[in-house]
A and B are shown apart, each in its own frame.
Chain A
Amino acid sequence: MIEFRGVTKRFPDGTVAVHELDLVAEQGRITVFVGPSGCGKTTSVRMINRMIEPTSGELRVDGRDVLAGDPADLRRGIGYVIQQAGLFPHRTIVDNIATVPVLLGRGRREGRSRAMELMETVGLDPSMARRYPNQLSGGQQQRVGVARALAADPPVLLMDEPFSAVDPVVRENLQDELLRLQSELGKTIVFVTHDIDEAIKLGDKVAVFRVGGTLAQYDEPGVLLSRPVDEFVDTFVGRDRGYRGLGFLSSDTIPIGELPTVGLGDPVPEQGWHAVLDGERRPLGWIDGGHRPGGATVSEGDVVPGGSLYPVGSGSLRGALDAALSSPSGRGVAVDADGRVAGSISADDVLTALPDARRHDPAA
């Protein structure tokens, strides 16, 4: 747990980067700091590992005042990942990752074997172990940065715009893996970004900062989308927040409807859209019976690609709505945990379920 109590940072030139910050980053959760450039996100994070010292106020990490004791000891217990990864260019990947274990005196051998384990954990091919950082792509370097921060198994992880320098596809990938990792590791993570979508995707709680280093709103992402406290947050959260907010509402109450289906090789149906299934009842796409394509039986060439699939029981209203809207037939395909067809949903069902979902969700 990380506690800011009235923390202020005034730089020698008079700039107040952080002003009277009160905030608790909860144990085992991802807390995201988001806000426009210069609003004090980096300064706040760097006060946690004492790279910057607060001017006033109190800052505790797991109950311990950061200003008490030796800064190097404090930092060895806090993983830190930055935008350019900050890897040591003169050390191999495996030695980069083993840095903190070696600093802690655990020996090079043990450090390296731990590093090899971690390469696997973060999805790096072990054959890269002996390479140098400049022989890796930006996304791979970022993975090394994460592995290095995790090497000594610190309870706290600070990440300052770790994924901003990689392309959108790689970034999304890294975000997904961070969430997967976190579900296994349960670290207390403070994650800085200026991308509100990233904040909403990753954060268990999101702190929106204003320029001047004050906290505008600190809430769960669903609340941020549905109830921004003021115009600044509203504008910052951006367009489509109503739609994006559906992502935080459970879709359990949506009724699953009928879905006309047809198998490959079956006769082409007389009329209407039918979902085409494979032998395992998994959806392949759609065929429009009224449009009467080529042959008398359904062949692979006749299949129109389907939209996104809606997983029953583990989806959100946003996922359900998207499944309906992206389907050529107007009905979304609902699938069970094994990917087999369970039925269909319509956009109307989603809208009908909305008031109920809002009532049941304490966040909204």
Chain B
Amino acid sequence: MDWVFRNSGLVLELTGQHIVFSLVPVLIGLVLAVPLGWLANRTALGRSLTLNVAGFLYTLPSLALFVFLPPIIGTRILDPLNVIVALSVYVLALLVRTVADALDAVPETVVNSATAMGFRPGWRFLTVELPMAVPVILAGLRVAAVSSISLVTVGSVIGFGGLGKMFTEGFQREIPQQTISGIVLVLLLAVVVDGLLLLAGRTLTPWDRSARSRRTAGRAV
């Protein structure tokens, strides 16, 4: 811990970088996943197409993506944009499936009764289907955010910023405290972000809490 305080300037900078590199892609991925997930659910073909492409992207090794992306999108090799784009693709691949499944799980009776009351499709999506999909989407978002935070450290290996830099530098300079502090900080960041998302979810979906307690109460009987 001592090491952290002595180098607080560097630590803060790296933490800031890490947050930007990992969470901006989560945001981008989410924003793209919602319309794509909706589109995927429109037709059976759309669904299998979207899910297969997403599945393929998700299996690409992140390191490879960091290396091969620059020539494809025309950036320089150590441009931070590479990390952002690569991770956005990951998050998107992960979330598109979650969003599609979450929307698919919205009970048809509810969607139908919304239609029968005179909701037009767009408004119905925004005010009925999407809100009802929030609990499932949020669970996916937590996985995506934590994965993204850990994947940013991979980027550090090939020279991008972020807390992963503390591992590599700690090794090279043989300062174990630096390596260990790096690991602890990444874990801490993951736990905090996960906790915040959980909290946000609870606040956004008070109705789901009552459903949950009812489900568990039902099970206990």
Contacts from A to B (Cβ < 8 Å): 49, 51, 72-76, 78, 80, 82, 84, 86-92, 99-100, 103, 131-132, 134-135, 148
What is the distance, in angstroms, from A87's C-beta to the closest C-beta of chain B?
Answer: 8
* Beta-carbon contact of B112 and A75 below 8 Å: no
Whether A84 contacts B205 in the complex (CB less than 8 A), given A103-B119, A134-B210, comes out as no
CB < 8 Å: which of A49, A84, A134 contacts B109?
A84
What is the distance, in angstroms, from B121's C-beta to the closest C-beta of chain A?
Answer: 9
Q: Which residues of A contact B114 (CB under 8 A)?
A: 88
Q: Which residues of A contact B110 (CB under 8 A)?
A: 86-89
* Beta-carbon contact of B117 and A132 below 8 Å: no
* Beta-carbon contact of B131 and A75 below 8 Å: no
Q: Which residues of A contact B205 (CB under 8 A)?
A: 90
* Beta-carbon contact of B118 and A88 below 8 Å: no
What is the distance, in angstroms, from B109's C-beta to the closest C-beta of chain A?
Answer: 5
* Beta-carbon contact of A86 and B210 below 8 Å: no
What is the distance, in angstroms, from B208's C-beta to the closest C-beta of chain A?
Answer: 8
* Beta-carbon contact of A134 and B214 below 8 Å: yes
* Beta-carbon contact of B207 and A76 below 8 Å: no
Bound-complex Cα distance A185 to B207 (A) = 33
| Interface size range on B against A | 20 to 34
* Beta-carbon contact of A135 and B210 below 8 Å: yes
Bound-complex Cα distance A86 to B207 (A) = 15
Bound-complex Cα distance A89 to B109 (A) = 11
Bound-complex Cα distance A86 to B115 (A) = 11
Say yes or no: is B43 at the interface (Cβ < 8 Å to chain A): no
Which of A49, A76, A86, A99 has the most chain B CB within a 10 Å cutoff?
A86
Interface residues in B90-145 (C-beta closer than 8 Å to A): 109-110, 112-120, 123, 128, 131-132, 134
Say yes or no: is B211 at the interface (Cβ < 8 Å to chain A): yes
* Beta-carbon contact of A82 and B109 below 8 Å: yes
What is the distance, in angstroms, from B219's C-beta to the closest C-beta of chain A?
Answer: 15
* Beta-carbon contact of A75 and B115 below 8 Å: yes
* Beta-carbon contact of B120 and A72 below 8 Å: yes
The closest CB in chain B to the CB of A86 belongs to: B113
* Beta-carbon contact of B112 and A51 below 8 Å: yes
Whether A103 contacts B207 in the complex (CB less than 8 A), given A51-B112, A88-B110, A90-B131, comes out as no
Whether A86 contacts B109 in the complex (CB less than 8 A), given A132-B207, A134-B211, A134-B214, comes out as yes
* Beta-carbon contact of A51 and B116 below 8 Å: yes
Bound-complex Cα distance A99 to B208 (A) = 20
Q: Which residues of A contact B123 (CB under 8 A)?
A: 103
What is the distance, in angstroms, from A292's C-beta to the closest C-beta of chain B?
Answer: 53
CB < 8 Å: which of A76, A86, A132, A134 contacts B112?
A86
Q: Which residues of B contact A76 (CB under 8 A)?
A: 117-118
Q: A49-B116, A72-B120, A99-B117 are in contact. List 8 more A-B contacts (CB 8 A).
A: A75-B116, A78-B116, A88-B114, A88-B132, A89-B207, A90-B128, A91-B207, A148-B117
* Beta-carbon contact of A89 and B211 below 8 Å: yes
* Beta-carbon contact of A100 and B117 below 8 Å: yes
* Beta-carbon contact of B210 and A72 below 8 Å: no
Q: Which residues of A contact B132 (CB under 8 A)?
A: 88-90
* Beta-carbon contact of B118 and A75 below 8 Å: yes
The closest CB in chain A to the CB of B132 belongs to: A90
* Beta-carbon contact of B118 and A100 below 8 Å: yes
Interface residues in B169-183 (C-beta closer than 8 Å to A): none
Interface string of B181-218 (1 = CB under 8 A from A): 00000000000000000000000011110110010000
What is the distance, in angstroms, from B120's C-beta to the closest C-beta of chain A?
Answer: 5
Whether A135 contacts B116 in the complex (CB less than 8 A), given A88-B128, A91-B207, comes out as no
Q: Which residues of B contact A100 (CB under 8 A)?
A: 117-118
